[in-house]
Structure 1
């Protein structure tokens, strides 16, 4: 809900007449239909083409697939032009989007499909065998398949009788009756899965209101005179769109700003990113610490033309100060760090070229966003004193999907969200994130929860006990380190890591394993994770 009855965001939503996230696209198409909206590889979509194809997909979902407003559609795709087409089409049809990591293992996919109750899935055709392993235990009844090159070389016929090709769905939808955009700002738009503070992955319920509010808050900062020229500016977008930061920034806000966004299919492929930077006079880039390090270490990066580059946005993981300095020295453009979390749609605060800046700080809260820094007794901390960051604003989630008890632990009746992050705020209102949620590990911008890693490790009969922690990593920000005690003394680190790869997505797999005779515990047998974290910090400081 709005922070105040007459808040800026509420006034903007009313003035713009928004009813649904899809209205961002309708507005952009009305203003500049022929301007490039998204490019990926050799293909491009103008705003008019994007709206036309999203409309066809919406018609297919309702008229052919028989899906009803409020039902859930899982998108299990890497970066592609299919992503914005499907997302805006689903929004127009009133469906709830479920962003799903295409690197999930069967167990991870099964949990998300069952928990969300998704009735339809759009995924890469090569991932169909993975879906088949878990489909019978889910509510999925509609399966749509696509290929990475479907836009350039469309495939219409499916070899699977119970599956429909994405391009065939667009063709069928284009011939179907017109469909009005399903209105309702308070309706659920997106289930974005996150672990929150602890435990299994939960679906943060983000409404059309909260997503649009965050776009408006972002536009208020970056659409000021002299900052952007959308008719010329090009954004390079390598981060995966199934991640909330990239989805909100590179998909929703880009459309709201009228930018041309170049989506990189594989954000780990530095050659693909650099090739896109050669082809386009890029002025913006969204990334994180590990990406910046990788690019600067690539021999071809320093040869690029940076004359159009205005700034780089960093989010999803803490920015190393030295990395930011090196980037500006090499490119001439600053790295503007921000902070957000899934439960806030996601942006809470950010630096800009026109707002106060302090190195190591993540900027001021967005408009209509209130923050409190509270001590352990729940009392406000004075400036520059660390405490838990709590916030309230129109971008805050409705709660966790079908988890009222866990919602109540983080979201109170007045709309204040307890983030679990430790922060300080200076006298000018600038925020610095001092520490993150107690146990969460942040690998290249992705949340990794120790309990999940430990559960996978303990499936091995040769493991007695284990503790997973995050350790500093110059490229990823953090990586997972595993401490184990063994039942089978013949086990070594390589075998344990190989075991983990069977059950965990790549970024969750430990990068290092240390074998101990005994793991530290309290007198009542509780594992002392913090003691091992402190040990690693001491080792890092001494090295």
Structure 2
């Protein structure tokens, strides 16, 4: 395939990466903690953890795992928000040769039970706020041998005692729980520091993560991400952002959860290679607390999703922040709306660059050039060593500017789904390309444009309507705060467009929205039904879940 996108690369970005620079993610980690030993690696609630300290704590956790008889290749589950213990346990597990399995702490006990059993995890680290959920799941999860419990304030020194008291007794955020034979994190560190740690030689083929995702079919399954996959994506992302960063001087806002692949690779891993500091935000939904915390720092980089950026630009206190140090902003996880991007740049002075990827691609596959001054609506160019093609329903490659399914090939693409050979074979074509289930097209300059998810497509009288396009137009109305579009049954005509709207202007009417949309959309794309709602269903990173809006058992229909 001719890589037409290479002509649009910013100067200095290579066509390909050298995957042999590192044999594993552990190699990258150990190189970074040595080179940047005295730099701050992570910050949580004002408490800093240096790369040197990170090296020690991860070594102790790895030694403890080995001393407990946890073998290389064993799965270690992590069920924590963005607290200092997360990166410690993550890198500690990897140094012990284990496979990290990330859990959303907000999972129900049923979801926890299913993922523990599917992954076969032997050890789980859980923050005490969610220990009661784990407790309910444990009777039916026979593979779990060790439960480690930590607290929000556990790594915060003297300040941590106050934090824990408030969380436990003032806010009542730790439900009663009882897990026999659990181990407290401080005990793990004490025992680990007295234990021998045996370094392991890992290769590209060793598994690093079982990263669970709905994938392209909606059924949760573990994407097997090898050390080679993650090393590749870190090197690819690093090549893309390095020119816009200063080694050892950057501070990135990490509001998206590290247990999600976007923040894990983009913030934690890529910026680790730059000796940067990650400012961990425990609860970005507490917008007041979030804005108050980041206002204390001269941050240089910011990642997020459209809903987060939209909430911030509509926050009075956020508008007062000094953005003079900000150099790059990256949006992913869901489509970035033109209106949001325009307002973000007007407020911060920095363009919002859209990127695209999936859990199955570790995640980055395409990124917009970071020197672009204007939002172009595309999801960017295929990154180094990555191939993208657009195909029709029969798998035949389409000409430029024609909409079809986006397929991806590269060293960052997963090995397959954990213990699901049929699912794995279904998601790859004969040439080894990953079938994403996303619809889009590529233009003459190699830019890829995402149109929508295949399953979210709305068919109106035989015509295709893409929800993103409708949402993008509706979001431009000054009275609209957030919006989501779905298709609903319309008898013989197929479907019609229904719009769910959170109002910024409480007096906004259905007629005003429809007229606004009619000015920019052809008639069959114009919403015929409007529902005003107080909230929209979102996943753990803030991506709006259209499937919940379509669910007849939900409160939204």
Q: TM-score, normalised by structure 2?
A: 0.76
Q: 1:231 to 1:66 in 2, by over 3 A?
A: same
Q: 1:506 to 1:244 in 2, by over 3 A?
A: closer
Q: 1:336 to 1:106 in 2, by over 3 A?
A: same
**Are 1:222 and 1:352, in contact at CA under 8 Å, matched by a contact in 2?**
no
Structure 1 partner of 2:213: 194
Q: 1:413 to 1:118 in 2, by over 3 A?
A: farther
Structure 2 partner of 1:12: 18
Distance 1:143 1:471 in 2: 45
Deviation at 1:298, TM superposition (A): 1.3
Structure 2 partner of 1:220: 239
Distance 1:182 1:10 in 2: 26
Distance 1:151 1:114 in 2: 30
Structure 2 partner of 1:131: 134
1:393 equivalent in alignment to 2:410: yes
Structure 2 partner of 1:265: 282
Distance 2:414 2:274 in 1: 23
Correspondent of 1:237 among 235, 254, 273: 254
1:366 equivalent in alignment to 2:383: yes
Q: 1:264 to 1:470 in 2, by over 3 A?
A: farther
Structure 2 partner of 1:405: 422
Structure 1 partner of 2:31: 27
Instruction: Give runs of aligned pairs for residues 30-109 of structure 1, distance below 5 A.
Output: 30-63=34-67, 65-109=68-112
Distance 1:73 1:515 in 2: 37
Deviation at 1:10, TM superposition (A): 8.4
Distance 1:253 1:277 in 2: 20
3-state secondary structure, aligned to 1:209: helix
Q: TM-score, normalised by structure 1?
A: 0.78
Structure 2 partner of 1:426: 443
Structure 2 partner of 1:525: none
Structure 2 partner of 1:140: 144
Superposed CA deviations along residues 316-350 of structure 1, whole A, max 9, x for unmatched, are 11101111001101111110110000110000011
Q: 1:368 to 1:45 in 2, by over 3 A?
A: same
Distance 1:438 1:514 in 2: 14
Q: 1:9 to 1:29 in 2, by over 3 A?
A: farther
RMSD: 3.3
1:118 equivalent in alignment to 2:121: yes
| Structure 1, gaps ≥5 residues long | 444-449, 451-466, 476-492, 517-532, 537-543
**Are 1:233 and 1:284, in contact at CA under 8 Å, matched by a contact in 2?**
yes
Distance 1:347 1:195 in 2: 17
Structure 1 partner of 2:363: 346
Q: 1:177 to 1:513 in 2, by over 3 A?
A: closer
3-state secondary structure, aligned to 1:211: helix
Distance 1:163 1:331 in 2: 47
Deviation at 1:433, TM superposition (A): 0.5
Structure 2 partner of 1:381: 398
Superposed CA deviations along residues 71-107 of structure 1, whole A, max 9, x for unmatched, are 1111010111111111111111011111100000111
**Are 2:17 and 2:235, in contact at CA under 8 Å, matched by a contact in 1?**
no
Instruction: Give runs of aligned pairs for residues 147-158 of structure 1, distance below 5 A.
Output: 147-153=151-157
Distance 2:79 2:128 in 1: 10
Distance 2:228 2:547 in 1: 38
Deviation at 1:20, TM superposition (A): 2.2
Distance 1:12 1:430 in 2: 24
Q: Alignment length, in residue pairs?
A: 459
Superposed CA deviations along residues 183-221 of structure 1, whole A, max 9, x for unmatched, are 122011101111112242010000000011000001111
Distance 1:263 1:515 in 2: 37
**Are 1:290 and 1:474, in contact at CA under 8 Å, matched by a contact in 2?**
no
Deviation at 1:249, TM superposition (A): 1.1
Deviation at 1:151, TM superposition (A): 0.3
**Are 1:74 and 1:120, in contact at CA under 8 Å, matched by a contact in 2?**
yes
**Are 1:25 and 1:47, in contact at CA under 8 Å, matched by a contact in 2?**
no
Distance 1:208 1:250 in 2: 17
**Are 1:328 and 1:334, in contact at CA under 8 Å, matched by a contact in 2?**
yes
3-state secondary structure, aligned to 1:279: coil
Instruction: Give runs of aligned pairs for residues 152-191 of structure 1, distance below 5 A.
Output: 152-153=156-157, 161-191=180-210
Q: 1:113 to 1:439 in 2, by over 3 A?
A: farther
3-state secondary structure, aligned to 2:204: coil
3-state secondary structure, aligned to 1:251: helix
Structure 2 partner of 1:528: none
**Are 1:383 and 1:427, in contact at CA under 8 Å, matched by a contact in 2?**
yes
